[in-house]
């Protein structure tokens, strides 16, 4: 039961960190919160198709219709990413910094696949903005990785301290 609670705690922390990272990058810089003033919505740089998907085509994106649904999905992803961390990295890499770097790289593969198959392939988004979005994903997933790794490190230290007391 404790292991499940630890997994949920790390997943919650990771999901919140991913949400914060996405808000700071995609929300504030990318869209300008109004989906008009950010660089990702500037018609001088952005594909008209991308702007239309976000502002005209019904149904509008989930984040516009139900804004809290995305952080909830990110918390679910944080739990999945925490499982991935437990199964692959927790005991195989020694230093926390390496754990964070490797987990971030692993998580970025999904973002890279998404950016190539979605915005680039389907929506004809310019490569410069794809690169910017990948930097946003890198920042967000770095925050998520930091949260997951350091929450588990705290749990591991706490567990060792409890064992030593007995």
Kindly state the percentage of the chain with pLDDT values over 90: 89
Cis (ω within 30 of 0) for the bond into 59? Answer: yes
Q: What is the mean pLDDT of residues 130-142?
A: 98
| Mean pLDDT (the chain, rounded) | 94
- pLDDT number for residue 163: 54
Q: What is the mean pLDDT of residues 103-121?
A: 97
Contacts for 84 with CB less than 8 Å, ≥ 6 apart:
103, 106
Rounded to whole angstroms, how far apart are CA atoms 52 and 159? 52
Confirm whether pTM is higher than 0.75.
Answer: yes
Q: Give residue 118's pLDDT band: very low, low, confident or very high (50, 70, 90).
A: very high
- pLDDT number for residue 153: 94
Q: Give residue 70's pLDDT band: very low, low, confident or very high (50, 70, 90).
A: very high
Is 113 strand, coil or helix? Answer: helix
């Amino acid at each position: 039961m404790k292991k499940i609670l630890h997994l949920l705690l790390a997943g919650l922390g990771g999901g919140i960190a991913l949400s914060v990272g996405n808000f700071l990058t995609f929300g504030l810089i990318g869209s300008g919160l109004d989906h008009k003033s950010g660089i990702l919505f500037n018609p001088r740089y952005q594909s008209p198709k991308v702007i239309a998907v976000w502002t005209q085509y019904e149904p509008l994106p989930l984040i516009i219709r139900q804004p809290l649904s995305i952080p909830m999905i990110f918390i679910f992803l944080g739990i999945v990413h925490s499982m991935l961390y437990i199964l692959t990295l927790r005991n195989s890499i020694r230093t926390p910094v390496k754990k964070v770097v490797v987990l971030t790289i692993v998580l970025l593969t999904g973002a890279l696949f998404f950016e190539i198959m979605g915005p680039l392939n389907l929506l004809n988004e310019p490569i410069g903005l794809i690169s910017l979005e990948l930097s946003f994903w890198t920042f967000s997933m770095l925050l998520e990785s930091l949260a997951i790794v350091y929450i588990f490190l705290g749990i591991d230290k706490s567990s060792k301290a409890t064992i030593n007391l007995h």
